[in-house]
Amino acid sequence: MIEFLANLGRSGLHWLSVLGRASMFLFRVLRAQDAVVRRYRLTLAELYSVGVRSLLIIAVSGLFVGMVLGYQGYITLVKFGAAEALGGAVALSLVRELGPVVTALLFAGRAGSALTAEIGLMKTTEQLSAMEMMAVDPYRRVFAPRFFAGFLSMPLLAAIFSAVGVMGGYIVGVGLLGVDSGSYFSQMQAVTDWREDVVSGVIKSIVFGFVVTWIAIFQGFDAEPTSEGISRATTQTVVISALAVLGLDFILTGLMFT
């Protein structure tokens, strides 16, 4: 029992110190954000590797999730004779929850892990150290553009996910199952509120983008400079990001959709 408590305390202290270091790191990254504009070419390159290269997996996943929603929603709604409500059901679940959350989870797996591995490798091979010795600030040169790219990409990707998902629901609901095209969209517009649903979903994805990118970059920066260290950090990025996204989703949902 004592042993258990001691372990609990130890791991609590450990995570507290990690959180402290991560906050310091975040503060410095945010302070270096002027580099995002001044070194826009670097930012562009990061937007490419973080955003553009995540586009395909996000769009394809969005399409399939939308199609499944269309199918499952139809099966449930048709029992109540309310198949016309399909559009609303699909749009609300995508815009409020699935869009931001699934995008964030995919993003953590696709771009987050890549960011961690890249930065971890730069640390292990002393590239970050070498930059410092060449009087180049890694916060400006490496971390700030990556952070900004992740932060900006997430809401855009989530919007694309939701939009493609709505079309996927349309393909299945209207194209295959014969729901009326007009009522699909009019029902959707009737129940989906711009501010309460769409904007809240965007706010969620902005928060997720911030948190997931922060976790990914910090894990790389804080990785033990060995190959096991990098692999552990990469796994941790995905695990911690997933937990953080799901936990934050619960909190944000409670705050915004009262």
Partner 1 sequence: MNDERVADTPHVVVEDLVFRRGRKVIFDGLSLTVPRGRVTTVMGPSGTGKTTLLRLIGGQLRPDSGRIWVDGEEVARLSTRRLYALRKRMGMLFQTGALLTDMNVFENVAFPLREHTDLPEELIRNLVLMKLEAVGLRAARDLSPAQLSGGMARRVALARAIALDPDMILYDEPFAGLDPITMGQIVTLIQRTNRTLGLTSVLVTHDVVEAMDISDQVVLIAEGRVMDAGTVEHVRAGASAWSEQFLGGRPDGPVPFHYPGDSYRDDLMRGRESGND
Partner 2 sequence: MKLRYLEVSVGLFVLLGIAALFYLAIQVSNIAEYRDRDTYEVIAYFDHIGGLKVRAPVTVSGVRIGRVSRIAYDPERFQARVTLAIQSGTDFLPADTQASIFTAGLLGEQYIALEPGGDFESLAQGDEILFTQSALVLENMIGRVLTNFSSD
Taking CB under 8 A as the binding criterion, the range among 65-73, 94-102, 123-131, 229-237 that sits at the site for partner 1 is 123-131
- 28 or 183: whose CB is closer to partner 1? 28
Maximum Cα interatomic distance, the chain, rounded to a whole number of Å: 70
Specify whether the CB–CB gap between 153 and 209 falls below 8 A: yes
155 interacts with partner 2 by CB under 8 A: yes
Q: Which two tokens stand for residue 160?
A: 């694309």
Q: How far is the CB of 124 from partner 1 (least distance, A)?
A: 9
CA distance 110 to 241: 12
Among 44, 56, 82, 136, binds partner 1 (CB under 8 A): 136
- Name residues whose C-beta falls within 8 Å of residue 208's C-beta, 6 or more positions apart in sequence: 100, 101, 103, 104, 107, 154, 158, 245, 248, 249
Q: Minimal CA–CA distance to 210: which of 21, 30, 42?
A: 30
Binding to partner 2 (CB under 8 A) within 159-198 occurs at 159-160, 162-164, 166, 185, 188-190, 192-195, 197-198
Q: Collect all residues with Cβ–Cβ distance below 8 Å to 134 and sequence separation of at least 6.
A: none
Instruction: Choose one: 62-70, 78-86, 131-139, 238-246; the region binding partner 1 (CB under 8 A).
Output: 131-139
75 binds partner 2 (CB under 8 A): no
Interacting residue ranges for partner 2, rule: CB under 8 A: 41, 44-45, 47-48, 51-52, 55, 80-82, 91, 95, 153, 155-157, 159-160, 162-164, 166, 185, 188-190, 192-195, 197-198, 202
